[in-house]
Amino acid sequence: MGMRLNTTFPSGRPRGVPRPGQDFERTEITPIQYDPNHPFKCNNFVYRLALPSGVVGSSCKFRQPGCVPIPIGAKEFIPRLSNSEAHGMHQETRVQNEVSMLTLASAALRHIEPHVDYPLPESIKGWGGVTFDDSGAIVSAPMVSVGAGPWSSLEESYRDRLKAALAKTDTNPTFRVGEQRASEGESTPPDNLLYDPATGRITALLDYDFSSIQHPAYEFFRSFATNGGQLCGWLDDNTLQGQEAELLRNAKLSGQFPSPLPTRTDSHDGGLAVDWELAQVWEEALQKLDVKRPSTIPGIDKLADADEVLGSLLPWRLANEDLLRMNQDEDTRAALKRIAEGHLISLLDHLGS
């Protein structure tokens, strides 16, 4: 995990994986969850390695921070190789950031209790990403999804991220007008969780690619989209679906869901319909555990609006290289750009009112 290994191919023997003695021909190397038809570049390539015999020892005299020796006798491994061509990631620090976050999470979850507030080490002094210094301590570093930071305050982080978003629009031809402090995972869908099927309990949190040191509210902006737990900023959508999304947002901010629950409506424009029952179950679970949630985080609605501005300046559908490659129709791009511009103008008018 401490080594940075890059690859651009999904099958065969991964570059950088050491030969297990003379038994390499009997070693099984199996790609995990690789879809050759997936339209987006994989952030990582994951393999299962099964050795014919267990590890007998290690001659390695030096280990990087965050690494531990391979257990003697181990025969199966899950190596994950970062893809240097992945879009939207700061390659210079992404591996160090993830290993640092895993180290923090491991320390926080070492002794599971019903409620644990884990204080970050004093060596982490800013907002953004993390890495290891020369002594092995975890320290502040640039934010992987931005490529800037760290910052001394939350306000400074938003100001700098705003500048970074504007800078990216200047270099993205799609947008050229003249050419017509808590550790947040940032991505926690069900696919990134492992469960014990017997107890229904979560046993592992996966995928720390985009993790960063942020305000606790940030988790609700980036995660929980599939269970109705994600919080968005102000909406100017007057359609039935937009009105329903605004009603759900208000329910999360107040902690009070309407009774009876609205009837679930079908989406006609490719968006996700609101699953009211699931969203209410999620809210009730958060209340039962008495954990931070939108209704208990002061000012989260304003933070959500600021995050919405950042997303509107650089809309994912117009900035992602893979999406642009698949959608090269200029009329469609122009229509998406008009929608994005209209939403940004309405949002700024709302914030200025």
Residue 237 CB burial class (10 angstroms; 0-12, 13-18, ≥19): middle
Lowest mean pLDDT among 29-38, 144-153, 272-281: 29-38
pLDDT at site 293: 92
Alpha-carbon Rg of the chain, whole angstroms?
A: 22
Question: Last residue of some domain: 52, 86, 120?
Answer: 86
How many CB atoms neighbour CB 258 within 10 A?
12
Check if the beta carbon of residue 20 is closer than 8 Å to that of residue 51: yes
pTM summary value: 0.55
Domain's final residue, options 142, 162, 184 = 184
Residue ending a domain, among 163, 184, 205, is 184
> Residue with structure tokens 């009070």?
256
105 and 166 belong to one structural domain: yes
Q: Is residue 250 part of a domain?
A: no
Question: How many domains are contained in the chain?
Answer: 2
Chain-centroid distance of CA 229 in Å reads 15
**Most distant pair of Cα atoms in the chain: their distance:** 72
Structural domain includes residue 289: no
What is the per-residue pLDDT across 33-49, written as a single tens digit (0 to 9) for each?
A: 777 777 778 888 888 88
Q: What is the mean pLDDT of residues 191-214?
A: 76
Domain enclosing residue 151, as ranges: 94-184
Residue 275 is assigned to a structural domain of this protein: no
Q: Does 233 reside within a domain? A: no
The predicted-structure confidence for 288-314, as pLDDT tens digits, reads as follows 989 899 999 998 998 888 888 888 887
